[in-house]
Chains A and B, each alone.
Chain A
């Protein structure tokens, strides 16, 4: 991290003068380190994520952006041989604390993955999966949640006549929106998106981007993207990761017009990565 950004961030926390300290912080990472075996993937990450905003995470391959987002709901621990130090505070509570149930965390912080991964079940069953595992059995209530979630994911009109058809018959973009609907069905507060459009065509990508802008009214969204135009289009803040460190973090408009770090400027102008 360059001196300037470091100062900017620290000032932001200590004085509350700049954009960085918001009263509506949902997630705060403090001194976060993540290792895969002996290899350190994230070093000393400090970052606040604000409510009802879209936070984009950009950076070259292997910079730790995916690791970071997966650490936020502790999915990273499924990879095995992962070691984490530091804190992530979700609404003020340390998610790594023993008393914090990982299932509860993942219910509040939902995730959409890079590759659309619907279950080989019907569209209806895919969306009902989350409510079901959390104990909802009533058909009427499930019907209601399914419709609401599919509407919120802008998919209802396309699938309402074939709710009981297999989800694998949908197009790639529809599958990804189904996965978003499935995540919405568990009523999370935060939605993590790990390069959700990287496997999609431009029109599907556009639909998802529109959806993201719509969803941020209700949810907090953290989205990893390798597409800088996408970050510029849809995000309120952008975090640039480089070599496992948070190189720069700020308002997207500021960062893209006037980056503090030289590396950031080089990256967003396409000179490396």
Chain B
């Protein structure tokens, strides 16, 4: 009697198995390609639209109703100053929260309550954060529609990302490294500062960059805060009114119905925003690698 692995039926089966194997590989590759195609089409379209508009005058000029004279220096400055608020606020608050949750908090109700709330916050639509910022920072603290108000609102929005990723990074630091430090008489803070944080830094930085990238492109909360449509002066303090790149893109897209050239300005601004994001990511990767080399 033949063994079951031989025979015609088994051969057919084998052919089928190998075929399926190839088919699945193709399927997954196409799925991965899909994202690439969408991104390429998007960038392609925008790039075509921005040709002839994205020039030095556009980057360094002030805002104008005349599309041919309009520039986005104000929006770039606004976005930059906004990040100057978001970055430290998110970093300090986010990492501190993660440290408390991982290194200090006793296992129990309070900890799980806070953790659940942070995860829930991550799912709250950004418009709601805009309303929160409007009520708390703009009205109650009297910050109006300043860069500070916008920055703090965006910090709240991206805080959960930083907290959760920092928590994961801190948790991934092997216990025996902490043990070594405590074993030499180090205090908890010394252990955190000299052992845990350096080892967790690459992971924390990754989360931080994700958060900043998210914040830099957020429009809705800023619109809710009442960022003015047209700002002529370039902001030079955190208390100034401002406009940011995504808000500028949003308004230009809205007004493109009346003035078609605004669509080109929006496209050019998007290229600038993407470039900014790219630089930011590159910087973070550089910082991360530097940290990794040191240890």
Contact = CB atoms under 8 A, between A and B. Distances in A.
Interface of A: 73, 75, 78, 80, 103-107, 110-111, 113, 115, 117-121, 129-130, 132-134, 166, 179, 182-183, 186
Interface in B153-196: 174, 176-187, 190, 194-195
B28 interface: no
B104 interface: no
Interface string B57-73: 00000000000000000
Contacts of B98: none
Interface string B196-217: 0011000000000000000000
Nearest to B174: A117
Nearest to B106: A80
Given A133-B194, A166-B295, A115 B183 contact: no
A104 B185 contact: yes
Q: From DSSP, what is the main secondary structure of chain B's interface residues? A: helix
Contacts of A111: 183
A216 to B, nearest CB: 20
A75 B183 contact: yes
A113 B184 contact: no
Given A117-B177, A120-B199, A166-B295, A130 B185 contact: yes
B295 A121 contact: yes
Contact of A134 (B185, B198, B199, B295): B185
B194 A113 contact: no
14 contacts: A75-B183, A78-B179, A80-B107, A106-B184, A110-B183, A113-B180, A115-B176, A117-B179, A120-B177, A133-B181, A133-B190, A134-B185, A186-B184, A186-B185
Given A115-B176, A119-B195, A133 B183 contact: no
Contacts of A129: 181, 184, 194
What bracket does the count of chain B residues touching chain A fall in?
A: 20 to 34
A186 B182 CA distance: 12
Contacts of A115: 176
Interface of B: 107, 174, 176-187, 190, 194-195, 198-199, 294-295
A2 B170 CA distance: 48
Contact of A117 (B180, B186, B187, B294): B180
A207 to B, nearest CB: 20
Contacts of A105: 185
Contact of A103 (B179, B187, B198): B187
A169 to B, nearest CB: 12
Nearest to B107: A80
Contacts of A118: 180
A96 B153 CA distance: 48
B182 A106 contact: yes
A133 B295 contact: no
B195 A106 contact: no
Contacts of A121: 294-295
Contact of B185 (A80, A103, A113): A103
Among A107, A118, A133, A186, which residue has the most Cβ atoms of chain B within 10 A?
A: A133
A121 B292 CA distance: 10
Given A117-B180, A129-B184, A133-B184, 12 more contacts: A80-B107, A104-B185, A107-B185, A119-B177, A119-B181, A120-B198, A120-B199, A133-B185, A133-B187, A183-B183, A183-B184, A186-B184
Among A104, A117, A118, A179, which residue has the most Cβ atoms of chain B within 10 A?
A: A117
B191 to A, nearest CB: 9
B176 A106 contact: no
B185 A179 contact: no
A75 B182 contact: yes
Contacts of A80: 107
A152 to B, nearest CB: 16
Contacts of A134: 185
Contacts of B174: 117
Contacts of B177: 117, 119-120
Given A107-B185, A133-B186, A120 B180 contact: no
Contacts of B198: 120
Contacts of A104: 185
A118 B295 CA distance: 11
Contacts of A130: 184-185
Contact of B186 (A73, A75, A103, A166): A103
A113 B183 contact: yes
Contact of B184 (A78, A110, A120): A110
Nearest to A192: B183
A107 B182 CA distance: 10
A166 B295 CA distance: 7
A106 B183 contact: yes
A7 to B, nearest CB: 36
Given A119-B195, A129-B194, A106 B185 contact: yes
